[in-house]
């Protein structure tokens, strides 16, 4: 997986910082997660092909996660897009977008599909051969979901030397890669483990923004490889975090620890602070593997 942070600061866009948006690449698919103002400019700056984005996941209907969506939809049309675009987000998102398209008389050159969410339980919202995406219900001032992206396991890798040694016909290779044992002409059964290697273990990524400290997410994201968790505030503003239903860096770290995540990425920083280093410092008092998200930064895992 490859994650590019397009924006990870709270509230308003500023000269050098952008509101929430990120692109996740999984096995040649591009998923756009949240679409704050300026997302399309950030996509261009980071050289991400608009045409490869077919699925957009919106966490909640707050402007800093959403106000770039109508502009992005409109630009896709101006570029002559014809491929379907799927948008996942809270109930109301369809009305919000269609109203703007109608009043600006700017219909899309492609089909738009809305997948409106209102469940308070985690649910599968996207699935194909290689990837599955589930919601992570969060606790914020409005209805909000994070998203869990999971790769599906690859087929097993053929041990070419072994299959040749056993003189197994090529017609059986796919069956072997699917995990089957093989019976030779003399009746000997060759166990699959002798003919294959383990595939690369599937990876997972959880996006949790915006939310107050909310332990209900832990069973959903348990053992996740990489967790992006909002950390709007430092510990000095813990009371404000509670009041505005946001998290501190330490709270994000506590979720990572309890969920047994391998890696934590912080983001959604309040712009009241001079720099973001203190977020890492505070989080690492709880959980060691902390990386700072920042605009234009990519992570591969
Ligand atoms: Zn926000
Ligand atoms: Zn919000």
What is the CA(22)–ligand 2 centre distance, in A? 16
Ligand nearest to the CA of 143: 2
pLDDT band at 129; cut points 50, 70, 90: very high
CA of 87 to the centre of ligand 1 (A): 19
Residue 76 is predicted with a pLDDT of 96
Binning pLDDT at 50, 70 and 90, where does residue 288 land?
very high
The pLDDT assigned to 15 comes to 87
Q: What is the pLDDT of residues 45-55, one digit of tens each?
A: 999 999 999 99
What pLDDT is stored for residue 207 in this prediction? 98
The pLDDT of residue 13 is 87
Which residues are CB-contacts of 186 (< 8 A; sequence separation ≥ 6)? none
Ligand nearest to the CA of 144: 2
CA 231 to ligand 2 center in whole angstroms: 12
For tokens 């308070």, what's the residue? 120
Distance of alpha carbon 211 from alpha carbon 238, whole angstroms: 13
Which residues face 135 on adjacent strands?
A: 147
At 11, the pLDDT band (50, 70, 90 cuts) reads confident
**pTM recorded for the entire structure:** 0.93
The C-alpha atoms of residue 91 and residue 95 are separated, in whole angstroms, by 9
- Among the bound ligands, name the one nearest to the CA of residue 269: 1
Residue range 280-284: mean pLDDT, rounded = 98
Predicted pLDDT at 130: 94
The confidence score (pLDDT) of residue 241 equals 98
Q: How far apart are CA 37 and CA 7, in angstroms?
A: 9
What average pLDDT does the chain have? 96
For β-strands 204-208 and 226-230, DSSP reports them as: parallel
* Tens digit of each residue's pLDDT (9 = 90 or more) over 155-172: 999 999 999 999 999 999
Strand partners, 25: 2, 30
Q: How far is the CA of 268 from the centre of ligand 2 (A)?
A: 10
pLDDT tens-digit series, residues 62-72 = 999 999 999 99
pLDDT at 165: 94
Q: What spacing in Å lies between the alpha carbon of 60 and ligand 2's midpoint? A: 7
Q: What is the SS3 assignment for 45?
A: helix
The mean pLDDT value for 181-200 works out to 94
Residue of 64, 128, 154, 295 marked active site: 64
In percent, how much of the chain has pLDDT > 70?
100
Residues in the chain: 301
For 8-12, 137-141, 204-208, 283-287, which range has the lowest pLDDT when averaged over its residues?
A: 8-12
In whole angstroms, what is the distance from residue 186 CA to residue 176 CA? 18
For the segment 204-233, the average pLDDT, to the nearest whole number, is: 98
> What residues form DSSP beta bridges with 226?
205, 263
Q: Pick the range with the lowest mean pLDDT from 9-13, 129-133, 161-165.
A: 9-13
Three-state SS at 221: helix
Q: Flag whether pLDDT at 193 surpasses 90.
A: yes
Q: What is the pLDDT of residue 2?
A: 98
Mapped onto helix, strand or coil, the DSSP state of residue 232 is coil
Query: Which of 66-70, 106-110, 218-222, 263-267 shows the lowest per-residue confidence on average (mean pLDDT)?
Result: 106-110
Which ligand minimizes its atom distance to the CA of 245?
2
Other beta carbons within 10 angstroms of residue 244's beta carbon come to 16
Q: What is the pLDDT of residues 81-103, one digit of tens each?
A: 999 999 999 999 999 999 999 99
Query: In angstroms, what is the span from residue 40 Cα to ligand 1's centroid?
Result: 18
User: What residues are paired with 158 via a beta bridge?
Assistant: 196
Q: Which residues contact 253 (CB under 8 A, 6 or more apart)?
A: 264, 282, 283, 284, 285, 286, 287, 290
Closest to 212 in 3D by CA, of 195, 191, 196, 232: 232
Active site residue 64: yes
- Region 215-241 average pLDDT: 98
Residue 214 C-alpha from the chain's centroid: 19
The residue behind tokens 């939809």 is 73
Please give the pLDDT value at position 267.
98
**Residue 169, pLDDT score:** 93
Q: How far is the CA of 217 from the centre of ligand 2 (A)?
A: 17
Q: Cα(272) to centroid of ligand 1, in Å?
A: 14
Rounded to an integer, what distance in angstroms lies between the CA atom of residue 250 and that of residue 130?
Answer: 34
| pLDDT exceeds 90 at position 230 | yes
- Token look-up 């369809």 returns 94
Ligand nearest to the CA of 62: 2
């Amino acid at each position: 997986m490859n994650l590019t942070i397009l924006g990870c600061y709270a509230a308003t866009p500023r000269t050098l910082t952008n509101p929430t948006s990120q692109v996740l690449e999984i096995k040649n698919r591009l998923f756009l997660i949240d679409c704050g103002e300026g997302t399309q400019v950030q996509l261009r700056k980071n050289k991400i092909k608009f045409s490869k984005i077919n699925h957009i996941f919106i966490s909640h209907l707050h402007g800093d996660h959403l106000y770039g969506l109508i502009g992005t939809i409109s630009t896709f049309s101006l570029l002559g897009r014809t491929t379907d675009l799927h948008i996942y987000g809270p109930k109301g998102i369809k009305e919000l977008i269609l109203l703007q398209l109608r009043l600006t008389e700017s219909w899309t050159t492609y089909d738009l599909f809305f997948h409106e969410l209102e469940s308070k339980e985690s649910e599968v919202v996207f699935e194909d051969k290689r990837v599955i995406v589930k919601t992570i219900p969060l606790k914020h001032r409005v209805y909000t979901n994070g998203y869990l992206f999971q790769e599906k396991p690859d087929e097993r890798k053929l041990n070419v030397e072994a299959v040749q040694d056993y003189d197994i016909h090529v017609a059986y290779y796919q069956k072997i890669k699917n995990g089957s044992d093989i019976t030779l002409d003399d009746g000997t059964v060759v166990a699959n483990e002798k003919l294959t290697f383990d595939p690369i273990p599937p990876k997972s990524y959880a996006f949790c923004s915006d939310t107050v400290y909310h332990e209900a997410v832990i069973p959903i994201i348990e053992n996740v490889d990489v967790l992006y968790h909002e950390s709007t505030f430092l510990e000095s503003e813990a009371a404000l975090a509670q009041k505005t239903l946001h998290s501190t860096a330490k709270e994000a770290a506590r979720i990572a620890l309890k969920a047994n995540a391998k890696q934590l990425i912080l983001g959604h920083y309040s712009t009241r602070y001079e720099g973001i280093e203190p977020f890492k410092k505070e989080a690492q008092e709880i959980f060691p593997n902390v990386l700072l998200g920042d605009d234009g930064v990519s992570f591969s895992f």
